[in-house]
Homo-oligomer: A and B are copies of this chain.
Amino acid sequence: MRPVSSGAVDFIDVRETNLAVVLRFIRREAPCSRAEVAAGTGLNKATISNIVAELITRGIVVEVGASEERRIGRPAVMLTLDGRRFTALGLEVNVDYLSAVMVDLAERDVLTWHEPVQAAELGAEGCVVRLADLARRAMGEMARQHREVLGITIAVPGLIGTSDGEVAEAPNLGWHEFPLVDRFREQLDDSSVALSLDNDANLGAVGEYRRGALAHTQNLVYLTGEVGVGGGVIINGALMRGSSGYGGEVGHITLMQDGPLCGCGRRGCFEALVGIGSIIQQAAPDLAGSTAQPLTDLAAKVAEVARRAEAGDPRTTAALVRVGEWLGRGSAILLNLFNPQALILGGYFVTLAPWIMPPARRTLAAHTIAPNLGGCQVALSTLGFTAAARGGASSIIDAIDTARLPLPRSGSAAHR
């Protein structure tokens, strides 16, 4: 996560760091006693008492009575995370939808929204208006529930620039050097909430790592299956960003010399072969419309492709086999280079899995040098179109856990 434009993250003191250490321990080990927290964190008992008292005052930790099984004599008072009062919001803008996922401090889902939009038609400014509206509604909902939103992360299918809060390039949205965070903050009209921005594939990988079916797999690659195809890579439990944030740009590796034209202007990119726009063009060209126009109603068109494949339409099934083969070839490059324990396919790949996965698995095995795929499990995402938004929300919780984002002092939170 790249926190930007927030006064709140400028100053983090030692006490805040110790508080984060204690909070992280309780999140992992709850229910646990103060003595266990002291033993587990190395902080002394007086410091622990102090910090726990503050966490209780802030409404983040609650005492849940005694753990009778575990002790002889006077039972210890156990601590557990409450954190219902505080929430984090992940947003995603993509070619044909907006997503919003709100989680509380214990990373429980509070709300999950998914709305269709035609991002290219709306334009960048129009998207910001819709996105801010979505955020405002979600925050209003939290206010009604007496909860506070600690931060917002926005996921975008594009290259995030080195300038704070700017989308350098999002060809499938038609955005170029767009100062998303600044424009979003203006629209939101809230100067206090911490805002950050990241690539959809990166946040999707974080979502899978924190909340997916294969959560906590230490080496994991996530592939988005949208109009764009992005890669998010977790190595030893940490997101790989590359030296300037351009890591995992799998969509534009050249797979086919003189292949079909890609949105980036090159030919034969992975995305031009297996992105959902290309899939519709190959499998159901009658639905694709003019190539000069952005695709609209993607979900309906993908559903129609699936219907035709189900009915055994030969052109459709033949095209999906070709797509699957290219998906396998591109994925083999990821396996040869990253040797992950899991490759997770998201987005529309899940919808079309019955037809594209068998050929994909065949070519993947043929083009991967390590025996048995190097131990890699190939799985479909169970997070649907909310993986990136979910990862965005989780990355805020992570920032709090590592004291990069402070919790508000007691009294500043809305009270139940």
- Which A residues are closer than 8 A to B by beta carbons? 159, 168, 218-219, 231, 233, 235-236, 238, 240-254, 256-257, 264, 266, 329, 332-334, 336-341, 366-367, 369-371, 374-376
Closest approach, in angstroms, between the C-beta of A360 and any C-beta of chain B?
A: 14
Q: Are A336 and B253 in contact (CB under 8 A)?
A: yes
Q: B240 and A374: CB pair below 8 A?
A: no
> What B residues does A341 contact at CB under 8 A?
243
In the complex, chain B residues whose CB is within 8 Å of the CB of A266: 366-367
Tell which of B246, B333, B374 touches A243, judged by Cβ atoms closer than 8 Å: B374
> Shortest beta-carbon distance, A183 to chain B, in Å?
22
Instruction: Kindly report which residue of chain B lies nearest to residue A262, judged by CB atoms.
Output: B369
CB distance from A253 to the nearest CB of B (A): 5
Instruction: Using known A-B contacts A243-B375, A244-B375, A264-B369, determine if residue A253 contacts B338 with beta carbons closer than 8 Å.
Output: no
When the two chains form their complex, are residues B339 and A242 in contact, meaning their CB atoms are under 8 A apart? yes
Whether B369 contacts A241 by the Cβ 8 Å rule is no
Could you say which residues of chain B place their CB within 8 Å of the CB of A235? 235, 240
| A53 nearest CB across to chain B (Å) | 28
Q: B242 near A340 (CB under 8 angstroms)? A: yes
A339-B219 contact, Cβ under 8 Å, with A159-B370, A367-B266, A369-B264: no
> Could you give 17 example pairs across A and B, Cβ below 8 Å?
A231-B337, A233-B337, A235-B235, A240-B338, A242-B339, A243-B375, A244-B339, A246-B369, A246-B370, A246-B374, A252-B369, A253-B337, A253-B367, A256-B257, A266-B366, A333-B337, A337-B337
